[in-house]
Amino acid sequence: MERRKLGTTDIDVTSICLGTMTWGQQNSEAQAHEQLDYAIDERGINFIDTAEMYPVPAKDETQGRTESYIGSWIKNRGKRDDIILASKVVGRSGMVWTRDDTVKTTRQTQEQINYAVEHSLKRLKTDYIDLYQLHWPDRGLSPFGMHSYEDYDADDMVPLEDILGALQRHVEAGNIRHIGISNESAWGTMKFVALSKRLGLPRIQSNQCVYSLIARRFDYDRAEIAMREKVGLLAYSPLGMGVLTGKYDDGTAPEGSRGALFDGFMENYKKSSDAWTDANRTARKLALTPVQFALKFVESRAFVTSNIIGATSLEQLRENIDAHEIEWTDEMEQEADRLHKTYRCPLGR
């Protein structure tokens, strides 16, 4: 299992990260533990990503279950030092159930960050989180699926230096080791880097964003930042919510899939069916499975620190990990480039 440096830290993470957002909704606690055992003990993965709002779809009655499932695994197995554990604090949202009854909107204030860190640590049953990420910006910026820029009230945002200062207190207390961002813009990324340098505040080490064969906007600006500033990409949704597996190619949603379980969840992906069906046909033409083509493409990018894969069954998890074992060739690169030039990022930031 290949390992890559996490930003400027001394931490080496595997190039595959185990995603967990289905645990507590589509997966039981026992299944979550089974996936952790397999990924860590049998396949050598050391990087686990979660979030306070998980599982997805986010709702009051399930919030925090995913972290709790990981916490019970840590308590039962006693393998905390064997993993690099990442979690996230929500940005500006109406998901007030993640806080106490006094909050009308979730924000990345010192008080709310304190609350989030404290409760994540309790659910995870650990004294520290290796990588703590801002799940999306506090600013009035559309972080998911934005196709054109719309300005926001810059005065109505928690100053970035205040956010870093709030996180610094937890670094100093030993609650978190390093910090990262997620769904962040090029401007936000560079402002965080500059403020850290100027004010001596904790440095961001990663940016977790959507990235796949059909969602490559990260290439346009943040990839260069990732390379030059060592703020590597933690790529999520590398299979495009499942459309890059081939299981939706016939126009129907298989039983048990997110497309079948959650009404409207796949709506944006349906609009880009030409792109992902072409990607899947191309994979087969290359004598690959769609999963191999999609996942190895992401792992092969020089600016990617780790590729976050998720699965609802052990069989899927095994296939996803195996997909990274193929060799990426010039012919595959040419076909990936053709897809990008033809469809120009129909999905995601």
Residues serving a catalytic function are 54
| Assigned token pair, 166 | 């709030």
Q: How many CA atoms lie within 13 A of 338 on its CB side?
A: 10
| Assigned token pair, 221 | 């600006």
Q: Which residue has the tokens 């279950």?
A: 65
| Assigned token pair, 295 | 């996942």
User: What's the sign of the alpha-carbon dihedral 264, 265, 267, 273?
Assistant: negative
| Assigned token pair, 73 | 């695994």
Query: Of 100, 135, 95, nearest to 118 (Cα)?
Result: 100
Preceding peptide of 290 cis, ω within 30°: no
d(CA 253, CA 246) in angstroms, rounded, equals 11
d(CA 300, CA 307) in angstroms, rounded, equals 10
Give 153's contacts (C-beta < 8 A, 6+ positions apart): 140
CB 262, CB 25: distance < 8 Å: no
